[in-house]
Amino acid sequence: MLTVKSKKQKKETPLMGQYNGIKAKHPNALLLFRVGDFYETFGNDAIKTSKILGIILTNRSNGSSKTELAGFPYHALNTYLPKLVRAGQRVAICEQLEDPKLTKKIVRRGVTELVTPGVSYNDLVLENKENNFLACVYYGKTNLGISFLDISTGEFLLAEGNTEYIDKLLQSFNPNEVLYQKENEKEFIQDFGEKFY
C-alpha cells in the first residue's frame, strides 16, 4: 500500500512539537509551558486561560499555521495558579529543565508539578476555613462506595450505600474533585451530573 503525503500538510515548529508531545501526555490538564520568562498556553488551553484569568488572547505562528496563545510572566504564577485551580482546572506546570544559555538545541522541558482542585496543598489555592476534599466513587455490584480525603488536614472518611445516599454525601461534603473509574463515566454523570471536576 502506497501513501501519499499532501503538500499542504502543516509543519510545526520544534517548540510546538515539544509542546504537543508534552500535552499529549497530559490531555486533561491545562498545560502551563515555560518559555523564557513566561508561562505560555496554546490552542484550547489558551482560550480557557484567557477567559478564566482575563488576559489577552493572541496568535502565534506555528510553522505553516497559527495557534492561539495566552501567557503571563513566570513570577506571577502564585497569582494566576490559584485562579485556574479554583475554576476547576487541572494544571500541569512544565518547566525548562536546563539553562537555555547552555544548549544550542531546543531547551529540554518537563512537567514538574500537577495541581488539581482536590490535591492542592498550596496555601494560595486552599480556603482556610473549608476542607479541600478529594472524593472517589466506586461502583460495586449492588452498592456504591465513596471515600473522602483532605490532604491538608489528613481527614479520611469512607462510606457505602445506594445512589441517593452517595449523592447526599457528595452534596454535604462538597468535594473539590471526584475520581471514578473511566468505564463508569456515563453512569456517574447520569447519577451525579457534571458539576464535579
Asked if pLDDT for residue 178 goes beyond 50, the answer is yes
CA 171 from centroid of its chain's CA atoms: 23
What integer best gives the mean pLDDT of the chain? 89
Greater pLDDT, 5 or 194: 194
Residues 181, 150: Cα–Cα separation, whole Å: 20
In tens, the pLDDT along 126-135 reads: 777 788 899 9
Mean pLDDT on 145-155: 92
Q: Which pLDDT score, from 0 to 100, does residue 68 have?
A: 94
The strand pairing partners of 30, in sequence order, are 91
Place 4 in a pLDDT band, splitting at 50, 70 and 90: very low
DSSP state for residue 98 in the 8-state scheme: S
CATH 2.60.120.650 assigned to domain 14-115? The reply is no
End-to-end CA distance of the chain: 45
Asked if pLDDT for residue 1 goes beyond 90, the answer is no
Segment (H or E) for 176: none
Mean pLDDT on 80-93: 93
Residue 99 C-beta-side C-alpha neighbours within 13 Å: 2
Mean pLDDT on 122-143: 84
Which range among 61-65, 91-95, 177-181 has the greatest average pLDDT?
Answer: 91-95
Write down the CATH number for the domain with range 134-192.
3.30.420.110
In order, the DSSP letters of 53-96 are HT---EEEEETTEEEEEEEEEGGGHHHHHHHHHHTT--EEEEEE
Mean pLDDT on 5-28: 82
Asked if pLDDT for residue 9 goes beyond 70, the answer is no
Asked if pLDDT for residue 67 goes beyond 70, the answer is yes
Q: What's the residue count for the chain?
A: 197
Domain 14-115 matches domain 134-192 at the CATH topology level: no
Residues 78, 16: Cα–Cα separation, whole Å: 25
Q: Which of 147, 150, 74, 70 is nearest to 117 (CA)?
A: 150
Lowest mean pLDDT among 7-11, 15-19, 145-149: 7-11
Q: Which pLDDT score, from 0 to 100, does residue 7 have?
A: 46
Q: Which pLDDT score, from 0 to 100, does residue 127 have?
A: 72
- Any idea which residue has 482556610 for its cell? 128
Domain ranges of the chain: 14-115, 134-192
SS3 35: strand
